[in-house]
Amino acid sequence: MRNLMKKKGMKWSVSILLVLSMSFGLVSFNNDQRNFEIVKNLDIFYTLFRELNSYYVDETDPDKLIKTGIDAMLESLDPYTTYIPESEMENFKFMTTGEYAGIGAMISKEGDYVVIAEPYEGFPAQKAGLKAGDKLLDVDGKSVVGKTTKETSELLKGPANTKLKIKIERPGTKKPFTVEITREKIQINPVPWYGMVNDETGYIVLNNFTQGCSRNVKKAFLDLRDNRGAKKLIFDLRGNPGGLLDEAVKIANLFIPAGTEVVSTRGKVKQWDKVYRASREPIDTVMPLVVLVSRGSASASEIVSGSLQDMDRAVLIGQRTFGKGLVQTTRNLSYNAKLKVTTAKYYIPSGRCIQAVDYSHRNEDGSVGLVPDSLIREFKTKNGRPVFDGGGISPDIKVEPHKYANISYALVVQQVLFDYATQFALEHNSIPPVENFEITDDTYNQFKQFVLSKKDFKYESKTQEIFQDMEKTAKKEGYYKAAEEQFDTLKKMLTPDVNKDLDLFSKEIKDMLGIEIVKRYYYQKGAVQFGLKDDPDLSKAEELLSDPAEYRGILDGTIPSHAGDRRSMKN
């Protein structure tokens, strides 16, 4: 049997070599060292896998083994070159188009249960009466208790216009009940809210660059300008991870003249290099424009904000952007799989590259970290203002990001805010309009009691983590016993006091709680609107737009900006 396997293996190996030789055009591969190395190593990989599959002591999963190998290989290149098997094509399609067929709800894991985290307004889940906090028990008779969100999502998705039954357990109700829902084609609006933030200033937030998003932005802008009296605009790209290049070009084109270069791409295959220009007449080239950016603004967000900065068309406010300036092309593979492969880099009109030039210095969230002086080069905007490459786009006006307390993170991660909002919604049929809603002292006191009643709610401060490391080091080096009493005293002082921290950080916790509660009544658009209250970036943008001289001074270079400060690239 083994001999038979080996003979078959030899035939397969020869067949693969012949196919690979034809694929790479290796008529005389002995004269082409590189192509020989490719074929040699592919044959080694094939024979290794064959032997592993035949003789490894335990049963192996061929699909899992190969995917692990492919993922590890691609991981050695850059973070964006990825393998997409056929089983993940629906998720890939959703990422690029924002479209899928299902019930239209965000789900999350809470203990053994998958729960509705947020039903999207106007889609099947919301129309069927599902609410945030509903626990899913089974889908079409299949239990989902103990299942992952991915496994549950696959059951909820399906062809449009097909029906499914979901068994629900709702907090505050005595018995589970079943809801019948008809799946629909779900297209998430990339502009969850737009409106006027004062008498003259319009505001548009864009969450991602999915197919057709430029039409949403254009529609919002025209409504603000032509129907609501907007004379200035704030365009919010904070936290926008990017998406389709063509949509980024179209959005930039809304504000700059036809024929203007927006971005160019350059890579190994020179015939693929391309310059992308504004191809249509813009809708407005003179209205004062501020673009809000953050460390989470990446890729297409950086193309739009960077090109508008390079053309001196907008003032950027916020934090240095992510630094993702690599172009991915999708290539078809066998068996309906795909390879998303990095083929080029983005260059904006000044000539600078968006991509972080140093992969080794990244923040914990993946955004650009420290950029050494030696890797930073100066470029000029249309008006001659200095700007720099090295990674990401530095804003013209820098606003320090808010650093949330550890208790705030814990309240989110342990879903305490979510659970209280669920209870609040059960007890209140309605709340005032978003602009009038606030977390009162009475509501916050009730929330505090809710938190304190949770015996399993615990968290550590950064100071406490450092202290624990110091304590371990002291024990290792033999100093602990001599200072044990002092260590115990300090440990008690540093142990987080939930009641005290709920008061100490009440402002930020109230803001977070308000967003979670508003979402139950006014969905995503309400959450966005509520979150703009007391927003430092937005306040700075309004302040700048109220001072035409400062706004114009930044764009013509007479007033220095952070974008022209080399030091801003090193923080």
Show Cβ contacts of residue 77 under 8 Å, excluding neighbours closer than 6 positions.
342
Active site residues: 299, 310, 324
Give alpha helix (H) positions in 56-100: 62-75, 89-97
Choose among 420, 413, 421, 371: nearest CA to 392: 371
**Dihedrals phi, psi of 428, to nearest 5 degrees:** -130, 115
Up-side HSE of residue 106: CA atoms within 13 Å toward CB?
11
101 touches 158 (CB < 8 A): yes
Q: Are strands 378-380 and 386-388 parallel, antiparallel or unpaired?
A: antiparallel
As a dihedral over the C-alpha atoms of residue 130, residue 132, residue 135, residue 140, rounded to 10 degrees, the angle is: 30
* H-run or E-run covering 182: strand 177-182
Q: How far apart are CA 452 and CA 502, in angstroms?
A: 10
> How are beta strands 184-187 and 261-267 bridged, if at all?
unpaired
Q: Say what the alpha-carbon torsion angle 211, 212, 214, 220 is, to the nearest 10 degrees.
A: -130
Query: What is the Cα–Cα distance from 252 to 269, expressed in whole angstroms?
Result: 26
Q: Which residue has the tokens 């097909």?
A: 162
Helix (H, G, I), strand (E, B) or coil at 187: strand
- Tokens 């889609």 correspond to 123
Q: In whole angstroms, what is the distance from residue 280 CA to residue 250 CA?
A: 8
- Tell me the CA distances in angstroms from 78 to 48, 355, 389, one per residue in order: 26, 11, 19
Strands 113-119 and 105-110 come out as antiparallel
In the chain, DSSP finds a helix count (H) and a strand count (E) of 18, 21
Strands (E), 358-410: 378-380, 386-388, 397-398
Q: What is the DSSP letter of 402?
A: P
